[in-house]
Structure 1
Amino acid sequence: MIRYAIFCPVAMAVLGFTFTRPFKRMMQPILSALAAICGLGIVAMIAIASPSTGYLYYAGLLLVVPWAYAVLQLRFAYATRACVAIMAGYEFVALWLKPTPIEILINNNFFFLSAVIIGMVAGYTIERGVRTDFLQRRVIEDQRAELAVHNVQLDSALQASLEEVRRKADDLQRSRARSATSTTAPSSTWLPWPSSSASPRHWPTTTSTGPKPSSTS
């Protein structure tokens, strides 16, 4: 009756609330309350059940502990609060509301407390791993951003260096071209060939610088 009249409607309401926007901000306390309601519901069934049946119902609490720490992925603090509330409720029922024989009480508390301790270790380890992974991702993102900035700076410096090299190469080529033009001289003097209509006296004359032959009379 308790599981169908209390826990199942609450669980369905929480499931429907997960599709709303405010759930992300209130997820941890809501899921912690759901885990506590689940465990306290089992404690209530232990309280109203017959002694022979109630002594065995504590086994259901062993399922709530890993469900709260691992399946719901509650934070360590929220999951521990829920488990402490469940333990307090169970001890109240087992000691005062429905006194349990000491042998059975010690046996049940041993396994229940062991399950809680194991769940606490598992929850702490999971949360620490998640936090470490988050911090490492942040460090990697920061390093990637710094590397991108350095790459941009190196690319700019490389482009500037290449532009300077191209400019110097162009200056060197122009300097070589000017030097070649200024040092080139004509190898001979060209004289135009006289046309046939020109008179012999208009022909160009050349002077011989060699020795003249001696004439003998």
Structure 2
Amino acid sequence: MTRLHPLHLRFADPTLERAYDDYVYPRMLTQWRAALVIGPLVYLLLFVLDPWFVPAAHQAEVWAIRLGTLLVPASFIALSFTPHYARCAYLLPALNGLTGGLGLIAMMRLLPLETVAHYYPVMVLVTFFTYNFSGTRFIYALGVDLVLLVGYNLWFGAVVDYPSHLLATQDFFIVSANLIGGTAGYLAELQRRRLFVHKQALEAERRLHLERSLHDPLTGLPNRELLHDRIAQWLAAAERTPALHAVYFIDLDDFKPINDAHGHAVGDQALQHIANRLRHAVREADTVARVGGDEFVVLAPNLPDPATAASQAARLQAVIAQSGTELPAGVRLSASVGLCLFPYEGATVADILHRADQSMYQAKADAQAVMRFTTASH
């Protein structure tokens, strides 16, 4: 089960935490920018109250504080259009709220005590803004709003002779705003993270089903559908960059008697054994697929020349025929291998596989010789 810290809501798994950050970043970027515009805009509109409550002697100082505070979100907006913003995407919105709150306290200290209460509701707005609209994480918003609450009380409770009953009333509403806004912010982030985990689980299940649908359940090799797709990719690439690719059609010789004599369990074991040998016999860029009961196909792209392709066919036969201890005594395996080189004029995936299949059947009839089809005339 995915574990979340009960307070700061980080995933216990650092890899999952990074994946979550990568997932939400493009979705949250619009909200972060909107918050960095709308919050300062509301903050700026406070000037309509200045003529009524700010003494004329302090109006210039209040404007200096206000405009200085607005430089912070302006710089954050500019930063949001650079790659550097991703490293501090949650912290900067929190700092924006903190700067706005401290700027408000700085302006309020210039007001006559009898008019301070007219600006105090903005502290409640800052609280809700930081928790529910800034886009920061709950734990950062909690830290910011606690700092503002303490700062507000230090100034108006200790430095300024502010009526205690008014301060207590204002504290009640600020604390209530923290409880309501904080709980809403906490639950919203918790829900986002749970939805992310659910989406990750669904995506993992989807990939598992896709993987199973494109792979043979017995051997784990790519099936015919996935093989077709990979041949098509190399065929399309050959139109842009000339290269030589090979498809080997492999059919086990006299496989039915193994099932008849030893049972299907041994037959399945033999197929798994062959699949494992073929996987280890090819390059990492090659594809080994199972396309039928005892039929395998190897796709080998970017070969240097036809001679190398022919020698690889002989090598595949030798790998299959090697003796080993994986199978019951008396069980011997051999294979016929057909080869088709491509691209050639008019090549299609179906035609390439058909030519390799026909080559394999000719090999069976010609003492395991390997035949090649490389032109449309064959």
TM-score by length of 2: 0.41
Instruction: Decide which of 75, 86, 89 is 1:27's aligned counterpart.
Output: 89
Alignment of 1:97-108 (within 5 A): 97-108=159-170
- Partners of 1:15 and 1:153 lie apart in 2 by 48
Q: Find the counterpart in structure 2 of residue 95 from structure 1.
A: 157
1:124-177, CA deviations, whole angstroms, 9 ceiling, x for partnerless residues?
Answer: 01110111111111111110111011112369499626x9xxxxxxxxxxxxxx
Q: State the structure with bigger RCO (CA 8 A, min sep 6), 1 or 2.
A: 1
List per-residue Cα deviations over 1:77-104 (Å, max 9, x = no partner).
1111110111111001111121221221
- What's the offset of the Cα at 1:7? 1.3
Q: Let me know the Cα RMSD of the aligned residues.
A: 2.1
Amino acid at match of 1:128: L
2:121, 2:64 → 1: CA distance? 17
- Corresponding residue for residue 131 of structure 2: 69
Relative distance call for 1:21 and 1:139 in structure 2 (3 A) is: same
2:189 corresponds to = 127
Q: 2:176 aligns with which of 92, 114, 127?
A: 114
The structural deviation recorded for 1:76 is: 1.1
In structure 2, the residue matched to 1:43 is: 105
Report the equivalent of 2:75. 13
Residues 1:160 and 2:292 are matched in the alignment: yes
Return structure 1 stretches of 4+ with deviation > 4 angstroms.
none
**Is the CA contact (8 Å cut-off) linking 1:47 and 1:97 kept in structure 2?**
no
Q: Partners in 2 of 1:52 and 1:2 — Cα distance? A: 23
Change (3 A) 1:2 1:122: farther
In the alignment, structure 1 segments of 5+ residues that lack a partner are: 164-217
Select the structure of larger CA radius of gyration. Answer: 1
For structure 2, which runs of at least 5 residues remain unmatched after alignment?
A: 1-62, 218-222, 225-289, 296-378
For 1:160 and 1:8, locate their aligned partners in 2 and report how far apart those are by CA, in whole Å. 70
Distance across 1 between alignment mates of 2:79 and 2:211: 44
Alpha-carbon separation, structure 1, partners of 2:161 and 2:135: 34
Once the two structures are TM-superposed, the CA of residue 5 in structure 1 deviates from its matched residue by 2.8
Distance 1:102 1:80, change over 3 A: same
Which residue is equivalent to 1:55? 117
